[in-house]
Amino acid sequence: MADTRTTDQSGFSAAERSAMKQRAAELKTQVKNGKGSAKKQKEAQACLDAIAALPEPDKTIAERFHAAVTETAPHLDPKTWYGFPSYARDGKVVTFLQPASKFETRYATIGFNEDAALDDGEFWATSFAVIDYTDAVDEKVRALVMKAAG
């Protein structure tokens, strides 16, 4: 795998440039896919394809995260976002998984965007490092997803 820390004149690493290209391709695909249930089906398939393409342990983490989200919050729509498996409400990403392999980091990250209903006073976490998706992690993730999905 290429060194993702090497940057060009723009200051972006190769992995960051790749993620931006993936996002641009996702936006083009959204326009081509139209609207309604056919669009949602294609986006859900893209999410499953992104998960299937991951190396271990990211693949197992992503599969378990996908199961947790789809079982806990079936009203969230699976899709990809910057190539990451993600789950949206009304087209806005609520939660996503950033695989460790994407940017050659030590751990995968489960993140929540501003549309997640996680507000807790003046300060709350919006991302969580995951090294191993255990049953205890699954329980915590499901509780967070339930709260975030509203």
> How many C-beta atoms lie closer than 10 Å to residue 27's C-beta?
9
Helix extents (H) in the chain = 14-33, 36-52, 58-72, 135-149
By CB atoms closer than 10 A (0-12, 13-18, 19+), residue 8 is exposed
CATH of domain 14-149: 3.90.1150.200
CA of 69: how far to CAs of 52, 96, 147, in Å?
17, 10, 11
Distances (CA, A) of 28 to 24, 33, 87, 102: 6, 9, 19, 22
Q: Say how far apart CA 9 and CA 81 lie, in whole Å.
A: 25
Taken as a whole, the chain contains a residue count of 150
CB 60 within 8 A of CB 133: yes
How does pLDDT run along the chain (150 residues), one tens digit per residue?
444 456 667 788 887 887 778 777 766 765 565 667 888 999 999 999 999 999 999 999 999 999 999 999 999 999 999 999 999 999 999 999 999 999 999 999 999 999 999 999 999 999 999 999 999 999 999 999 999 998
